[in-house]
């Protein structure tokens, strides 16, 4: 297992982590500057942040600072109530692949979607099996396009508490079943993003990480699970402040040969988004060394 | 599948559902009277409510009204940081079996516990595997005692969002692995409580219900998953108000021969605990007929 205690060579910052500074929106160019200033070598930006700053400008900044993208957030949301909705999702995902390519991302992260309408508060139906089928079809379609672009797709299994509204792929096992179905040769074009926040509880985690193997472990995300957790979405903890044995999980991932970035992704309305972004980044660097 | 639309013959009320009426504590004897008055044939009371009213008094009331107990809530919380703590849990669980026996409960429901201290906000360690091992040992010990008392133990897999602080058994598969280990003959002394709130998201749910079979399906709990869910513990929905396809899951359970009560268990600080308990019970009856 790599020694992270001496530097932050393998740290990546998911830019949602400093989406806000002292409660105010922080534009992506400023996030990039703040990361570069600290010798952070990689980021993972969100599409809305990129769109707000302009893809060309972000691409220029990323290149001029020599930043890697540990991933691009995000594709997915494949489910819909009709064919027109499915086509909209298909087209939008292709654009996400194009953007990821322009930014030279190591993978496009997929948050696959769940019951249509649920995120807005009113699910159109309760047929989770139908959503799962649409998701598999959506990934299959996108995979063909992404292969042409040489952009790996990383399915991110989300915590089961998001099964209704954000992602109906909720375990590593389920994600890997989809990988087996759509990419049986383990070409490297389709894999998983392992986010400790989503999977830490899973009694089969170690075994499924081993099953994934190096070719399907495309990204590794960290933060921590707080007790209590006061919000289902935006109360993630800084590494070391919660109950997840992050080094153990990193050890399992690295035992398979994963040697990429450890990406910090924290949504925290009440705490970290209220702090100064520079302080948050400094804390990420410190905790990357001490708690990851 | 049984027809619930014509009556509430198979309705049970978990007494936490009306623990409060208009925001004020409602004592168990009043809950029992309110249920009996509506022709509700079964309840599942909590130990703290029983203790407050007195076991003998509750036993007398239950018998005089001819009420069944679809379960007794709850044993478990097997984990601890030292031998003294483990022994306390062991002894307390034996008392829970005795109480369940006195009340003629159909099973003792087990919420197995997780990381010691986490429920109070400060986990003593992050070793989930250790907690899981303590849980298996705790159930094994209790099972011997419960068999003597002829009191079935129902492991309730809790939603993964409770893995840190309430229960480290989080899927049907995991619960059934413990059952296979401790009661390979499927004697009926050890099984599971299927609560749709905890397991509805699981892609392996139907298969694991089939694996459980009649001898291990000891209880069936219902409520609903709301979108959004505003609190991890106390924002459960009334059946029909959320996204869970409850009839589908009940169908899977009954296909295995389960023919017991459908127990309504709703924790709802913001909504149902603010309403009049009589109105809540009437709503449970109506939704039992229309949405379960």
Query: pLDDT tens, B152-182?
Result: 999 999 999 999 999 999 999 999 999 999 9
ipTM > 0.95 for the complex: yes
Element of type H or E holding B281: helix B277-291
Q: What is the mean pLDDT of residues B179-198?
A: 98
* CA–CA dist A208, A175 (Å, integer): 10
Mutate to test the interface with A, among B119, B120, B160, B167 (most CBs of A within 10 A): B160
Residue B100 domain-assigned? yes
> CB atoms < 10 A from the CB of A31, how many?
24
Residue A3 domain-assigned? no
Residue B276 domain-assigned? yes
Query: Is the CB of B202 less than 8 angstroms away from the CB of A160?
Result: yes
Q: β-strand B20-21 against B24-25: which pairing, if any? A: antiparallel
For B243, the closest of A118, A203, A228 (CB atoms) is: A118
A90 CB contacts (<8 Å, ≥6 apart)? A78, A138, A141, A142
Q: Which among A14, A157, A237, A221 is positioned nearest to B126, based on CA atoms?
A: A237
Query: Is the CB of A243 less than 8 angstroms away from the CB of B160?
Result: no
Query: pLDDT tens, B68-124?
Result: 999 999 999 999 999 999 999 999 999 999 999 999 999 999 999 999 999 999 999
How many Å lie between the alpha carbon of B240 and the closest alpha carbon of chain A? 11
Number of H helices, E strands in chain B: 10, 11
pLDDT value of residue A153: 99
Count the domains in chain A.
1
pLDDT value of residue B265: 98
Segments forming the whole domain that contains residue A59: 11-291
Query: pLDDT tens, A23-37?
Result: 999 999 999 999 999
Query: Is the CB of A245 less than 8 angstroms away from the CB of B126?
Result: yes
Which domain CATH number covers B41? Answer: 3.20.20.150
Nearest residue of B to residue A168, measured between CA atoms: B201
Residue B6 domain-assigned? no
**Strand residue runs (E) in A151-198:** 153-155, 190-195
* CA–CA dist A199, A206 (Å, integer): 10
Query: Is the CB of A115 less than 8 angstroms away from the CB of B243?
Result: yes
Query: Is the CB of B123 less than 8 angstroms away from the CB of A165?
Result: no
Residue B259 domain-assigned? yes
Residue B1 domain-assigned? no
For B227, the closest of A128, A165, A202 (CB atoms) is: A165
* CA–CA dist A164, A122 (Å, integer): 10
């Amino acid at each position: 297992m790599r020694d992270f205690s001496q530097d932050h060579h393998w740290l990546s910052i998911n830019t949602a982590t400093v989406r806000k500074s002292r409660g105010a929106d922080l534009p992506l160019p400023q996030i990039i500057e703040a990361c570069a200033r600290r010798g952070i070598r990689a980021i993972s930006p969100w599409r809305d942040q990129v769109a707000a700053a302009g893809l060309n400008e972000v691409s220029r900044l990323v290149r001029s600072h020599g930043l890697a993208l540990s991933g691009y957030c995000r594709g997915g949301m494949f489910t819909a109530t009709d064919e027109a909705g499915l086509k909209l999702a298909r087209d939008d995902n292709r654009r996400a692949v194009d953007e990821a390519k322009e930014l030279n991302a190591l993978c496009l992260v997929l948050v696959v979607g769940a019951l249509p309408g649920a995120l807005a508060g009113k699910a159109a139906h309760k047929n989770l099996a139908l959503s799962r089928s649409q998701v598999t079809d959506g990934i299959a379609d996108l995979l063909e396009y992404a292969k042409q672009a040489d952009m790996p797709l990383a399915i991110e299994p989300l915590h089961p508490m998001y099964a209704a509204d954000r992602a109906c792929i909720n375990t590593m096992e389920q994600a890997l079943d989809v990988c087996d179905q759509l990419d049986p040769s383990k070409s490297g074009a389709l894999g998983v993003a392992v986010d400790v926040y989503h999977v830490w509880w899973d009694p089969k985690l170690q075994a499924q990480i081993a099953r994934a193997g190096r070719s399907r472990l495309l990204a590794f995300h960290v933060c921590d699970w707080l007790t209590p957790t006061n919000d289902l979405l935006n109360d993630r903890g800084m590494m070391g402040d919660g109950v997840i044995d992050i080094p153990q999980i990193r050890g399992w991932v690295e035992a398979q040969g994963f040697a990429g970035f450890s990406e910090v992704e924290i949504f925290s309305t009440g705490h970290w988004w209220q702090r100064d972004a520079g302080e948050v980044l400094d804390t990420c660097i410190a905790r990357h060394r001490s708690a990851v």
